[in-house]
Amino acid sequence: MKNPKNKNKSSTQKLLPFSEIRNNCLIMKDGTLRMVIMVSSINFALKSEEEQNAIISAYMQFLNSMKYPIQIVVQSRKMNIDPYLQRLEKSEKEQVNELLKIQIADYRKYIQELVELGSIMSKKFYIVVPYDPLSDEKKSFFNRLSEIFTPTSFINLSDKKFEARKKELIQRTEHAISSLSSIGLRAKSLNTQQLIELFYNSYNPDLLETEKIKEIDKVQVEEHY
């Protein structure tokens, strides 16, 4: 008899857009690679008109410098401020000065009311940089059509091919990070552990606060013979 749990795991894997995470890279099911850059944000509304125009100009230059497609991803999550409220409550109890104690209590009450009125969201920004050894222009119509209707098939990359493609991808990623810095944005490519956490949290938002995944070097793999 087949184990239904194994069947569920297999179907889940088919929904993932990639086949493997290796050495800070995503290996897609068609053999192409991706690297993910986490980017800081800018409070554009607080900038002066001159600063806003400079940011827009730098952003246009960044887009025009890209000779390949990129994907910009904005991830919104409901912010859990319970630990912050608990720290305020602890600070309130430990406070000796009665005036400061009252002020902390009022501030904590204000934050609680603010949360009750509306959800406080946190946003994270990512840029996905691709590398495809064969551009879409060089692919035939039938090859692209087969990729659409057979998304679960994937290519196993040899170490030699992977390292060659990764080298090209790193150059693209470093160029993107350098261009983003000219806008005043801090950017950093995600490593293997961070990529695993990103996808785990994306596919399991309900477990984000209750269950944390282990670091990859601490995960024990059991072999069955």
pLDDT in tens, 65-83: 888 899 999 988 877 788 8
- The count of structural domains within the chain is 2
Q: Does 214 map to a domain?
A: no
Domain co-membership, 112 together with 140: no
Domain that holds residue 106: 80-118
Domain co-membership, 114 together with 32: no
Domain co-membership, 101 together with 139: no
Span 133-141, average pLDDT:
55
- Residue 192 exposed, middle or buried by CB count within 10 Å (0-12, 13-18, 19+): middle
Q: Does 222 map to a domain?
A: no
Q: Which residues contact 147 (CB under 8 A, 6 or more apart)?
A: 30
pLDDT in tens, 110-126: 988 887 777 777 889 99
The segment with the largest mean pLDDT, out of 1-5, 67-71, 199-203, is: 67-71
Domain co-membership, 45 together with 103: no
Work out the mean pLDDT of the chain and round it to a whole number. Answer: 79
Q: Does 225 map to a domain?
A: no
Lowest-confidence segment of 41-55, 116-130, 194-208 by average pLDDT: 194-208
Q: Does 185 map to a domain?
A: yes
The pLDDT score that the predictor gives to residue 157 is: 65
Domain co-membership, 97 together with 173: no
Span 11-23, average pLDDT:
77
| Position 219 pLDDT exceeds 50 | no
Domain co-membership, 16 together with 114: no
